[in-house]
Protein backbone atom coordinates (compact mmCIF):
# COMPACT_ATOMS: atom_id res chain seq x y z
CA UNK A 1 0.00 0.00 0.00
CA UNK A 2 1.42 3.35 -1.08
CA UNK A 3 2.02 6.10 1.48
CA UNK A 4 0.89 3.92 4.38
CA UNK A 5 2.26 3.43 7.85
CA UNK A 6 1.08 1.23 10.74
CA UNK A 7 -0.10 2.77 13.99
CA UNK A 8 2.58 2.47 16.70
CA UNK A 9 1.48 0.14 19.51
CA UNK A 10 2.34 2.89 22.02
CA UNK A 11 -0.65 4.93 20.80
CA UNK A 12 -3.25 2.47 22.14
CA UNK A 13 -2.74 2.62 25.90
CA UNK A 14 -4.96 3.21 28.91
CA UNK A 15 -6.09 2.15 32.35
CA UNK A 16 -6.30 -1.59 33.01
CA UNK A 17 -9.34 -2.49 35.13
CA UNK A 18 -9.40 -6.23 34.41
CA UNK A 19 -8.40 -7.02 38.02
CA UNK A 20 -11.89 -5.75 38.88
CA UNK A 21 -13.68 -7.93 36.29
CA UNK A 22 -12.85 -9.76 33.06
CA UNK A 23 -15.24 -7.54 31.10
CA UNK A 24 -14.00 -4.23 32.53
CA UNK A 25 -12.44 -3.43 29.18
CA UNK A 26 -11.40 -0.31 27.32
CA UNK A 27 -10.86 0.25 23.61
CA UNK A 28 -7.09 -0.14 23.80
CA UNK A 29 -7.66 -3.70 25.06
CA UNK A 30 -10.13 -4.81 22.38
CA UNK A 31 -8.99 -3.08 19.19
CA UNK A 32 -6.95 -5.10 16.71
CA UNK A 33 -4.07 -3.39 14.91
CA UNK A 34 -2.53 -4.30 11.56
CA UNK A 35 1.21 -4.35 10.97
CA UNK A 36 0.62 -4.61 7.21
CA UNK A 37 -2.12 -3.19 5.02
CA UNK A 38 -4.05 -6.29 4.02
CA UNK A 39 -7.77 -5.95 4.88
CA UNK A 40 -9.20 -9.42 5.51
CA UNK A 41 -12.75 -10.43 4.62
CA UNK A 42 -14.66 -9.56 7.80
CA UNK A 43 -18.12 -8.34 6.76
CA UNK A 44 -19.55 -5.75 9.13
CA UNK A 45 -16.28 -4.88 10.83
CA UNK A 46 -15.17 -1.25 11.04
CA UNK A 47 -11.74 -0.34 9.70
CA UNK A 48 -10.25 2.73 11.39
CA UNK A 49 -7.93 4.58 9.04
CA UNK A 50 -6.06 7.83 9.58
CA UNK A 51 -5.42 10.48 6.94
CA UNK A 52 -2.45 12.43 8.27
CA UNK A 53 -2.72 15.45 5.99
CA UNK A 54 -3.66 19.12 6.18
CA UNK A 55 -2.21 20.37 2.90
CA UNK A 56 -5.75 21.14 1.79
CA UNK A 57 -6.25 23.40 4.81
CA UNK A 58 -3.00 25.19 3.97
CA UNK A 59 -4.12 25.70 0.36
CA UNK A 60 -7.45 27.04 1.67
CA UNK A 61 -5.56 29.59 3.80
CA UNK A 62 -6.63 27.92 7.06
CA UNK A 63 -4.80 27.12 10.28
CA UNK A 64 -2.73 23.98 9.80
CA UNK A 65 -2.24 21.24 12.40
CA UNK A 66 -4.88 18.66 11.46
CA UNK A 67 -2.21 16.29 10.10
CA UNK A 68 -1.47 15.37 13.74
CA UNK A 69 -5.11 14.59 14.52
CA UNK A 70 -5.26 10.82 13.79
CA UNK A 71 -2.71 10.00 16.48
CA UNK A 72 -4.20 12.37 19.06
CA UNK A 73 -7.75 11.13 18.46
CA UNK A 74 -6.66 7.50 18.78
CA UNK A 75 -5.12 8.31 22.16
CA UNK A 76 -8.34 10.00 23.24
CA UNK A 77 -10.36 6.95 22.15
CA UNK A 78 -8.00 4.41 23.71
CA UNK A 79 -9.13 4.81 27.33
CA UNK A 80 -12.88 4.84 26.60
CA UNK A 81 -14.97 1.85 27.64
CA UNK A 82 -15.28 -0.96 25.11
CA UNK A 83 -18.76 -2.46 24.79
CA UNK A 84 -19.83 -5.30 22.53
CA UNK A 85 -20.30 -3.00 19.52
CA UNK A 86 -16.73 -1.69 19.80
CA UNK A 87 -15.18 -5.15 19.36
CA UNK A 88 -15.77 -4.77 15.59
CA UNK A 89 -13.14 -2.03 15.39
CA UNK A 90 -9.73 -2.64 13.81
CA UNK A 91 -6.96 -0.10 13.25
CA UNK A 92 -5.52 -0.38 9.74
CA UNK A 93 -3.02 2.47 10.07
CA UNK A 94 -2.52 5.85 8.38
CA UNK A 95 -2.31 7.18 4.86
CA UNK A 96 0.29 9.96 4.87
CA UNK A 97 1.19 12.79 2.52
CA UNK A 98 4.60 13.04 0.87
CA UNK A 99 5.83 16.64 0.97
CA UNK A 100 2.96 18.72 -0.48
CA UNK A 101 1.51 16.24 -2.96
CA UNK A 102 -2.11 16.32 -1.79
CA UNK A 103 -3.49 14.71 -4.93
CA UNK A 104 -1.27 11.65 -4.57
CA UNK A 105 -2.21 11.31 -0.89
CA UNK A 106 -5.91 11.54 -1.75
CA UNK A 107 -5.48 8.84 -4.38
CA UNK A 108 -3.74 6.62 -1.80
CA UNK A 109 -6.66 7.18 0.60
CA UNK A 110 -9.12 6.32 -2.18
CA UNK A 111 -7.34 3.03 -2.85
CA UNK A 112 -7.12 2.16 0.86
CA UNK A 113 -10.83 2.85 1.41
CA UNK A 114 -11.77 0.83 -1.67
CA UNK A 115 -9.71 -2.14 -0.45
CA UNK A 116 -11.42 -2.03 2.95
CA UNK A 117 -14.89 -1.70 1.44
CA UNK A 118 -14.30 -4.57 -0.98
CA UNK A 119 -13.28 -6.70 2.01
CA UNK A 120 -16.77 -6.12 3.44
CA UNK A 121 -15.64 -3.58 6.01
CA UNK A 122 -17.06 -0.18 6.79
CA UNK A 123 -14.57 2.68 7.05
CA UNK A 124 -14.04 5.18 9.85
CA UNK A 125 -11.45 7.74 8.76
CA UNK A 126 -9.82 10.20 11.13
CA UNK A 127 -8.67 13.26 9.17
CA UNK A 128 -6.92 15.42 8.31
CA UNK A 129 -8.57 18.46 6.86
CA UNK A 130 -11.79 18.22 4.89
CA UNK A 131 -9.75 17.35 1.80
CA UNK A 132 -10.16 13.88 3.38
CA UNK A 133 -13.65 13.77 1.85
CA UNK A 134 -12.42 13.68 -1.76
CA UNK A 135 -10.36 10.52 -1.24
CA UNK A 136 -12.82 8.86 1.16
CA UNK A 137 -15.85 9.71 -0.98
CA UNK A 138 -14.23 8.39 -4.14
CA UNK A 139 -13.38 5.11 -2.43
CA UNK A 140 -16.99 4.63 -1.37
CA UNK A 141 -18.37 5.55 -4.81
CA UNK A 142 -15.88 3.16 -6.43
CA UNK A 143 -17.00 0.34 -4.14
CA UNK A 144 -20.70 0.70 -5.01
CA UNK A 145 -20.86 1.84 -8.65
CA UNK A 146 -24.43 0.63 -9.23
CA UNK A 147 -25.93 1.87 -5.97
CA UNK A 148 -27.42 5.15 -4.80
CA UNK A 149 -24.75 6.64 -2.54
CA UNK A 150 -25.62 9.77 -0.61
CA UNK A 151 -23.31 12.15 1.27
CA UNK A 152 -24.35 13.74 4.57
CA UNK A 153 -22.00 16.48 5.71
CA UNK A 154 -22.41 17.82 9.25
CA UNK A 155 -20.64 21.11 8.72
CA UNK A 156 -20.90 24.88 9.01
CA UNK A 157 -19.63 25.10 5.41
CA UNK A 158 -20.81 23.70 2.08
CA UNK A 159 -17.24 23.06 0.86
CA UNK A 160 -18.39 23.48 -2.74
CA UNK A 161 -15.66 25.96 -3.63
CA UNK A 162 -14.18 26.27 -7.09
CA UNK A 163 -10.39 26.49 -7.10
CA UNK A 164 -7.54 25.75 -9.52
CA UNK A 165 -6.38 22.89 -7.27
CA UNK A 166 -7.90 20.73 -4.56
CA UNK A 167 -8.26 22.28 -1.09
CA UNK A 168 -10.18 21.56 2.09
CA UNK A 169 -12.97 23.74 0.66
CA UNK A 170 -13.46 21.91 -2.67
CA UNK A 171 -14.22 18.22 -1.95
CA UNK A 172 -17.95 18.19 -2.64
CA UNK A 173 -17.68 20.22 -5.83
CA UNK A 174 -15.06 17.69 -6.94
CA UNK A 175 -17.36 14.79 -6.02
CA UNK A 176 -20.25 16.47 -7.85
CA UNK A 177 -18.18 16.75 -11.00
CA UNK A 178 -17.02 13.16 -10.62
CA UNK A 179 -20.61 11.96 -10.36
CA UNK A 180 -21.54 13.93 -13.48
CA UNK A 181 -18.63 12.35 -15.36
CA UNK A 182 -19.76 8.91 -14.17
CA UNK A 183 -23.37 9.65 -15.14
CA UNK A 184 -24.63 9.06 -11.63
CA UNK A 185 -26.67 11.34 -9.41
CA UNK A 186 -24.90 13.60 -6.91
CA UNK A 187 -26.81 13.25 -3.65
CA UNK A 188 -25.55 15.65 -1.00
CA UNK A 189 -26.98 17.09 2.23
CA UNK A 190 -25.25 19.68 4.40
CA UNK A 191 -26.59 19.89 7.96
CA UNK A 192 -25.54 22.55 10.46
CA UNK A 193 -24.76 25.08 7.75
CA UNK A 194 -24.03 28.65 8.86
CA UNK A 195 -25.46 31.24 6.50
CA UNK A 196 -22.89 33.66 7.91
CA UNK A 197 -20.04 31.41 6.72
CA UNK A 198 -21.20 30.73 3.12
CA UNK A 199 -21.27 33.27 0.32
CA UNK A 200 -24.13 33.63 -2.12
CA UNK A 201 -21.93 32.06 -4.79
CA UNK A 202 -21.69 28.88 -2.71
CA UNK A 203 -25.43 28.88 -2.05
CA UNK A 204 -26.06 29.30 -5.79
CA UNK A 205 -23.82 26.31 -6.49
CA UNK A 206 -25.73 24.31 -3.87
CA UNK A 207 -29.04 25.23 -5.51
CA UNK A 208 -27.66 24.24 -8.92
CA UNK A 209 -26.55 20.86 -7.48
CA UNK A 210 -29.91 20.36 -5.71
CA UNK A 211 -28.19 20.14 -2.31
CA UNK A 212 -30.34 19.55 0.78
CA UNK A 213 -29.49 22.25 3.35
CA UNK A 214 -30.38 22.20 7.04
CA UNK A 215 -29.24 25.40 8.73
CA UNK A 216 -27.66 25.60 12.18
CA UNK A 217 -30.55 27.79 13.37
CA UNK A 218 -33.04 25.05 12.48
CA UNK A 219 -30.95 22.41 14.25
CA UNK A 220 -31.05 24.58 17.37
CA UNK A 221 -34.69 25.64 17.31
CA UNK A 222 -36.36 22.58 15.76
CA UNK A 223 -34.08 19.52 15.88
CA UNK A 224 -36.96 17.14 15.16
CA UNK A 225 -37.66 18.98 11.91
CA UNK A 226 -33.96 18.78 11.04
CA UNK A 227 -34.02 15.03 11.69
CA UNK A 228 -37.12 14.69 9.48
CA UNK A 229 -35.29 16.44 6.63
CA UNK A 230 -32.35 14.08 6.97
CA UNK A 231 -34.63 11.05 7.08
CA UNK A 232 -36.36 12.24 3.91
CA UNK A 233 -32.96 12.63 2.25
CA UNK A 234 -31.90 9.12 3.32
CA UNK A 235 -35.12 7.39 2.30
CA UNK A 236 -34.14 6.74 -1.32
CA UNK A 237 -30.49 5.85 -0.69
CA UNK A 238 -28.72 2.50 -0.69
CA UNK A 239 -25.55 3.67 1.07
CA UNK A 240 -24.58 6.70 3.13
CA UNK A 241 -21.20 8.36 3.48
CA UNK A 242 -21.23 10.58 6.59
CA UNK A 243 -18.59 13.24 7.06
CA UNK A 244 -18.38 15.25 10.28
CA UNK A 245 -16.49 18.51 10.09
CA UNK A 246 -15.86 19.33 13.73
CA UNK A 247 -16.24 23.05 13.06
CA UNK A 248 -20.00 22.37 13.04
CA UNK A 249 -19.71 22.44 16.84
CA UNK A 250 -19.70 25.76 18.74
CA UNK A 251 -16.30 27.22 19.54
CA UNK A 252 -16.85 26.74 23.28
CA UNK A 253 -17.14 22.99 22.71
CA UNK A 254 -14.69 22.67 19.83
CA UNK A 255 -12.01 25.39 19.76
CA UNK A 256 -9.52 23.06 18.08
CA UNK A 257 -10.42 23.59 14.42
CA UNK A 258 -9.25 25.85 11.62
CA UNK A 259 -12.45 27.94 11.69
CA UNK A 260 -14.20 27.89 15.11
CA UNK A 261 -17.97 28.47 14.92
CA UNK A 262 -19.44 31.53 16.64
CA UNK A 263 -22.81 29.75 16.93
CA UNK A 264 -22.57 26.09 15.92
CA UNK A 265 -24.63 23.02 16.79
CA UNK A 266 -23.87 21.72 20.31
CA UNK A 267 -22.74 18.14 20.75
CA UNK A 268 -25.95 17.08 22.51
CA UNK A 269 -28.05 18.15 19.51
CA UNK A 270 -25.50 16.79 17.04
CA UNK A 271 -25.88 13.38 18.65
CA UNK A 272 -29.65 13.57 18.11
CA UNK A 273 -28.99 14.17 14.41
CA UNK A 274 -26.43 11.36 14.25
CA UNK A 275 -28.58 8.65 15.84
CA UNK A 276 -31.00 8.04 12.93
CA UNK A 277 -28.15 8.15 10.41
CA UNK A 278 -26.10 5.57 12.31
CA UNK A 279 -29.13 3.34 12.90
CA UNK A 280 -30.44 3.57 9.34
CA UNK A 281 -28.76 0.35 8.24
CA UNK A 282 -27.34 2.27 5.27
CA UNK A 283 -24.27 3.88 6.81
CA UNK A 284 -21.18 2.66 4.97
CA UNK A 285 -18.48 5.18 5.80
CA UNK A 286 -17.77 7.94 8.33
CA UNK A 287 -15.02 10.45 8.83
CA UNK A 288 -14.23 13.13 11.40
CA UNK A 289 -12.18 15.99 10.00
CA UNK A 290 -10.57 19.35 10.75
CA UNK A 291 -9.55 18.57 14.34
CA UNK A 292 -6.42 20.62 15.04
CA UNK A 293 -4.50 19.46 18.14
CA UNK A 294 -2.29 22.57 18.09
CA UNK A 295 -5.41 24.65 18.90
CA UNK A 296 -6.75 22.36 21.63
CA UNK A 297 -7.05 23.35 25.27
CA UNK A 298 -6.11 20.64 27.77
CA UNK A 299 -7.37 17.92 25.43
CA UNK A 300 -10.96 19.22 25.62
CA UNK A 301 -11.55 19.18 21.85
CA UNK A 302 -9.95 15.74 21.48
CA UNK A 303 -12.31 14.39 24.14
CA UNK A 304 -15.38 15.77 22.37
CA UNK A 305 -14.28 14.42 18.98
CA UNK A 306 -13.44 11.02 20.45
CA UNK A 307 -16.84 10.81 22.16
CA UNK A 308 -18.55 11.47 18.82
CA UNK A 309 -16.50 8.72 17.18
CA UNK A 310 -17.16 6.34 20.10
CA UNK A 311 -20.91 6.95 19.87
CA UNK A 312 -20.99 6.48 16.11
CA UNK A 313 -19.26 3.12 16.49
CA UNK A 314 -21.73 2.02 19.15
CA UNK A 315 -24.79 3.05 17.11
CA UNK A 316 -23.43 1.72 13.83
CA UNK A 317 -25.75 -1.25 13.44
CA distance 247 to 257: 6
For residues 146 and 238, what is the distance between their CA atoms, to the nearest angstrom? 10
- Partners of 153 in the beta sheet? 190, 243
In residues, how long is the chain? Answer: 317
Greatest Cα-to-Cα distance within the chain, rounded to the nearest angstrom: 60
Residue 1 is predicted with a pLDDT of 75
Sign of CA dihedral 66, 126, 299, 220: positive
Per-residue confidence (pLDDT) for residue 317, from 0 to 100 = 67
CATH number of the domain that residue 211 is part of: 3.40.800.10
Whether 12 is covered by a domain: the verdict is no
Q: Is residue 122 part of a domain?
A: yes
Quote the radius of gyration of the chain (alpha carbons, Å): 18
pLDDT band at 41 (very low <50, low <70, confident <90, very high): confident
Please report whether residue 13 resides in a domain: no
Indicate if the pLDDT at residue 231 is higher than 90. yes
Predicted structure pTM score: 0.97
| pLDDT bracket for residue 43 (50, 70, 90) | confident
How many separate domains does the chain show? Answer: 1
Residue 10 lies in a domain: no
229: in domain:
yes
Is 17 part of any domain? Answer: no
Q: Is 300 annotated as a binding residue?
A: no
Instruction: Give the C-alpha separation, 206 to 72, whole Å.
Output: 34
Query: Domain containing 133: what range?
Result: 29-34+41-315
Indicate whether 11 pLDDT > 70.
yes
The annotation status of 245 as a binding-site residue, yes or no, is: yes
Please give the pLDDT value at position 44: 80
> Does 83 belong to an annotated binding site?
no
Mean pLDDT (the chain, rounded)? 96
pLDDT digits (tens, 9 = 90+) for 303-317: 999 999 999 999 996
Q: Residue 261's Cα: distance from chain center in Å?
A: 18
Whether 101 is covered by a domain: the verdict is: yes
Residue 2 confidence class, pLDDT cut points 50, 70, 90: confident
- Average of per-residue pLDDT across 5-27: 96
**Residue 250 domain-assigned?**
yes
Amino acid sequence: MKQWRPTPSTVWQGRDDTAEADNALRLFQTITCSSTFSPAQQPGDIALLGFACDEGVKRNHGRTGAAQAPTVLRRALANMASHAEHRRLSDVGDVVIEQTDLEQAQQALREAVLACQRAGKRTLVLGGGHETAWGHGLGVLDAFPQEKVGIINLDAHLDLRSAPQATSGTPFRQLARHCTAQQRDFRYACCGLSMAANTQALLDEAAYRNVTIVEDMQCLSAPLEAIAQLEQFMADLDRIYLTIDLDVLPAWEMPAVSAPAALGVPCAILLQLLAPICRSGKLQAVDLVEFNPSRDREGHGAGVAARLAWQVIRWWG
